[in-house]
Structure 1
Amino acid sequence: MGDGPDHPPHVHEVDAWRPGVAGISEVLHAHFTDHAYPVHTHETWDLMLLDDGAVDFALDRRRHDATDASRVVLLPPGVPHDGRTVNALGFRKRVVYLTTDILPARLAGPAVDRGPILGDVALRRRVHRLHTALRHEGDAFEAQSRLAFVRERLLAHLEGRRVRPPGREGDRLAARLRELLDAHTTDGLTLEQATAVLHAHPTHLIRAFSRAYGLPPHAYLTGRRIDLARRLLLSGARPVDVAPAVGFYDQSHLARHFTRHLGVPPSRFATSHR
């Protein structure tokens, strides 16, 4: 039978890519109205947001229903699972595939025991922000920061780890990170490099900086680059040349952040005085 009033057209929309962020092997955004995954396993952890609809799946031969968009689904590596649409509306999902460098494989057992559906609003918010950062290749520092906080929250679920707020050493640590960011404004810096130089845990470092200066390190770095871009633009430089000169990935990366900061695109800002 063909598609008709009682048989809505099948929709399979998939957007998948491999981001340049250590610990994430793949990102998948998908919309299915009629699809069933066979039983399979992954070498990675599947961290899924259900944005719309409902999906029925089994993990380790136990069936589950995901119907609440406020929840997060975590499927561990090496454990058989499947998945299928429940009705004609299907479902929309966003998935990040995390390597065992982020979550060790030994936590697969606790993940199965605790269940794959996590009712954690804060975790969902963190994963959503991670997906937003992963959309733009030039925002790797932000994506690394977002991933660190996702990992922290997942380890709290799987191991019961408690977060230690920055102590008196936090201000000194924040000042050292600011100096490091200032020194690498145009050539860039990864979160991994910063933590290695400062011998600090990623989320502890970010919290210390945010408490000391009122914004996260990635936002501070972007602001510094915007300031440099303004000077070059007002000196007559073209946006296409300014972007790589101040550390942005390309002209569109510069335009997106510049417009968000100043309300006008770089080209318009550059010609406003003239």
Structure 2
Amino acid sequence: MTQHKQELVYWRDGALDGACLVSARYVAHEFDRHVHDELVIVMTEDGAGQCCTRAGSDVSGPGTVRIFGAGEYHCGKVWEGRAWNYRAIYLDMQGLAALSAVFHEDSRDDKPLFVPPGLYPDPQLSRLLIKAHASLEKNGTPMMERQANWWAAMGMLFGRYGQPRPVVEVAGREAGKMAQVRDYIAAHYDRDIPVDELASHVNLSRFHLMRSFCKEFGLPPHAYASQVRLIAAKQLLATGQKPAEAAVAVGLYDQSHLNRLFKRAYGITPGVYAALRPEQ
């Protein structure tokens, strides 16, 4: 039966450097003693897994984040025979360097980012990491959104437990620059704009830009871009354009992506909205 099937999926995302992503489900499995050459971050969605290292044994369950250091020998198994569903992030040196460049753009400190190995009970961090991970497996999620979710989750992880801690600039109002970012998004909403492009446009670090934009307008840049796309889609639907055509015109992946965003925002589908158009 499907619920007993074991699955293991690996993939990489073009928006990230040096990161390998894993989604796994194990029913009854034991892992031999092994090591990784990356920093490994594991978030349990449900079930539990027991892990043994030189430091001892612990159990990873929902709301926890398990960190394995590069070269750290460990083994494990599904705990008490229950299915274990988890998501994992493997960060190699390139990935850690890319994150360091985001968090320390004005720093010349070449010390790599690091999180001490161990089990971290932190439901808020676990939820944010899972949200970022899930957005990286969905077809059509805009690059700006994938990057924003990723950096927010990594910022919380390294900000709470990392060494060295990210140097986070105080998010000022930056009203003029944030207005430029808003206008730039409005002028280019029909394409997938990376955060790097927005940051370069106003000469701010990526992390600082996202925090300042949120402070100025109450939502992150990718969420603002979604609202601009929805407004543009409504205008196209009102002129008689079909939902599938409107989705492509405003830069969305497909009609189903427009349907999800439209219904979450307005409570109805684009098709229903289009049917409200009065007969000519």
2:16 to 7, 16, 22: 22
The worse-fitting range, judged by mean Cα deviation, of 27-36 and 180-189 is 27-36
1:1-274 alignment, distance < 5 Å: 11-23=5-17, 25-59=19-53, 61-104=54-97, 107=112, 111=115, 114-139=116-141, 140-156=143-159, 157-158=161-162, 159-168=164-173, 170-274=174-278
- In structure 2, relative to structure 1, the CA distance for the partners of 1:93 and 1:24 (3 Å cut) is farther
CA distance in 2, matches of 1:190, 1:119: 32
Percent of aligned pairs with the same amino acid: 27
CA distance in 2, matches of 1:12, 1:176: 49
Is the Cα–Cα contact under 8 Å of residues 47 and 97 in structure 1 kept in the other structure?
yes
Q: Which SS does the other structure have where 2:90 is aligned?
A: strand
CA distance in 1, matches of 2:93, 2:255: 35
- In structure 2, relative to structure 1, the CA distance for the partners of 1:43 and 1:229 (3 Å cut) is farther
* 5+ residue gaps, structure 1: 1-8
Task: Tell me how far 1:252 sits from its aligned partner.
Answer: 1.2
CA distance in 2, matches of 1:194, 1:58: 44
Is the Cα–Cα contact under 8 Å of residues 53 and 91 in structure 1 kept in the other structure?
yes
Is the Cα–Cα contact under 8 Å of residues 54 and 65 in structure 1 kept in the other structure?
no
Is the Cα–Cα contact under 8 Å of residues 16 and 27 in structure 1 kept in the other structure?
yes
Q: How many residues align?
A: 261
- In structure 2, relative to structure 1, the CA distance for the partners of 1:72 and 1:214 (3 Å cut) is same
The worse-fitting range, judged by mean Cα deviation, of 99-108 and 24-33 is 99-108
- What whole-Å deviation, never above 9, does each CA across 1:127-181 have from its counterpart, x for those lacking one? 122134224222232121011112222322222335332125x223312211221
Is the Cα–Cα contact under 8 Å of residues 173 and 209 in structure 1 kept in the other structure?
no
Q: Which SS does the other structure have where 2:140 is aligned?
A: helix
CA distance in 2, matches of 1:21, 1:42: 23
* 5+ residue gaps, structure 2: 101-110
Under a length normalisation based on structure 2, what TM-score does the superposition of the two structures give? Answer: 0.82
CA distance in 2, matches of 1:100, 1:69: 28
